[in-house]
Amino acid sequence: MSTVKADAITAVSTNGDLSLDGLGTGGVSIASTLKMTKGGDIASASPLVIDTDGNYFDVTGTTNFAAMTVESGNFFMLQFDGALTITHGSGIELPGAANLTTATGDRLICYATAANTVEVMSVETEAAASAGLTVSSVTATTSGTTIDFGSIPAGTEMIIINYNDVGTNSTSSHLIQIGDAGGIEASNYISIGGQILYSDASAGEQVTAGFLVMKSPQAAHGAEGQVILTLANPATFKWNCHGGMCHNDGGNGYAVTSSAGAKALSAELTTVRLTTVSGDTFDQGSVNIMYM
């Protein structure tokens, strides 16, 4: 057994690593705290170059990347200051084998299994680290033909839309549309829904202009229920939708609409819109969204 008493131990060569080896079947035991160094900020680039002045780095900028330049065996952490996309592949193995779009504050724990080959061992998103769902303020649905919820942050993976007695001045089916920085998209949705009356089943309806969430309601009768959007594939910005609504169908009694669908955007979702197939005017109720 050997004991070395010193405040600092340095490698023999200034260009070499300091190696600690327990030899034989022994390991290297650390009996106190292991202190790691925060390196200088790294500007995002492709490839992302991991410096050697620390093990924790802030990544600045928004340049996407699909590779890293890093020494074999390096164990390091990254914290992102903005939104960018990391591509899963042979150089960067991401959890779920899917591309990752970061948001401000997201953190990764990484290990280089070989030179320039990185396994991302853990992803902690700022949204997940916060106190769960973010709840918007309640918005009245008493006028206009569209209700928009914008500025949905990057990294959002689930959105719940709560209907509270939402109604319009006519019988057009209600839609949810989504959009990215390029604007709301009003085509290429896969969406179908059907209405069940208290005594029989009404015919279904298929639409492509949005997610069908309520089929042919009666005017002056509000809807109650929820629509849930989930990010099904971050690599293609594909969202799935499922909705369930209850509303008074006038002389036919109460009805339930159940619906489902899917839609891929061109980029990260930023906006959710409530509207109708024929542009009816909202005239009662309110709505809010919750997201994470």
DSSP string computed for 195-247: EEESSSB---EEESSSEEEE-SPPTT--EEEEEEEEEEETTTTEEEEEEEEEE
164 and 278 share one domain? yes
Same domain, 88 and 216: no
| Residue 143: both structure tokens together | 């006028």
Query: Is 160 within the bounds of a domain?
Result: yes
Residue 227 domain-assigned?
yes
pLDDT value at residue 257: 84
Q: What is the CATH number of the domain that holds 75?
A: 2.60.120
**Residue 30 resides in a domain:** no
Do residue 98 and residue 236 come from a single domain? no
pLDDT at 35: 82
Cα–Cα distance, 129 to 141 (Å, whole number) = 32
Using an 8 Å Cβ cutoff, are 280 and 169 in contact? yes
Q: Is residue 16 part of a domain?
A: no
Q: What is the pLDDT of residue 23?
A: 77
* Claim to verify: residue 182 and residue 47 sit in the same structural domain: no
Select from 127, 153, 185 the last residue of a domain: 127
Beta carbons of 286 and 139 less than 8 angstroms apart: yes
Quick check: is 28 in a domain?
no
Residues 243, 200, single domain; the answer is yes
Residues 98 and 142 reside in one and the same domain: no
What number of H helices and E strands is found in the chain?
1, 24
Task: Report pLDDT for 288.
Answer: 93
Range of the domain at 143: 131-291
Summarised one tens digit per residue, pLDDT across range 227-275 is 999 999 998 999 999 998 887 655 556 778 889 999 999 999 999 999 9
Phi first, then psi, for residue 97 (nearest 5°) are: 55, 35
Boundary of a domain, candidates 87, 102, 127: 127
CB atoms within 10 A of CB 57: 20
> Same structural domain for residues 144 and 278?
yes
Task: Verify that 71 and 199 share a domain, yes or no.
Answer: no
| pLDDT at position 36 | 85
Q: Kindly state whether residues 163 and 114 are assigned to the same domain.
A: no
Pair 193, 259: CB distance under 8 Å: yes
Token pair recorded at residue 272 = 């959710």
Q: Is there a single domain that holds both residue 180 and residue 122? A: no
* 92 shares a domain with 72: yes
Show which of 83, 109, 127 is a domain's final residue.
127
* Cβ(139)–Cβ(288) below 8 Å: yes
Q: What is the pLDDT along the chain (292 residues), one digit of tens a residue?
A: 566 666 777 777 777 777 777 777 878 887 888 788 999 999 999 999 999 999 999 999 999 999 999 999 999 999 999 889 999 999 999 988 888 888 888 999 999 999 999 999 998 876 555 457 888 989 999 999 999 999 998 889 999 999 999 999 998 889 999 999 999 999 999 999 887 765 555 667 888 998 888 777 767 678 889 999 999 999 899 999 999 888 765 555 677 888 999 999 999 999 999 999 999 999 999 999 999 8
Angstrom distances, CA of residue 175 to CA of 25, 88, 131, 208? 66, 34, 30, 10
Q: For residue 108, is it within any domain?
A: yes
Residue 7 domain-assigned (yes or no): no
Q: Which helix (H) or strand (E) holds 153?
A: none
Enter the pTM of the model: 0.57
In a domain, 18, yes or no: no
Same domain, 70 and 140: no
Q: Given this model, what pLDDT does residue 250 score?
A: 57
What total of structural domains would you count in the chain? 2
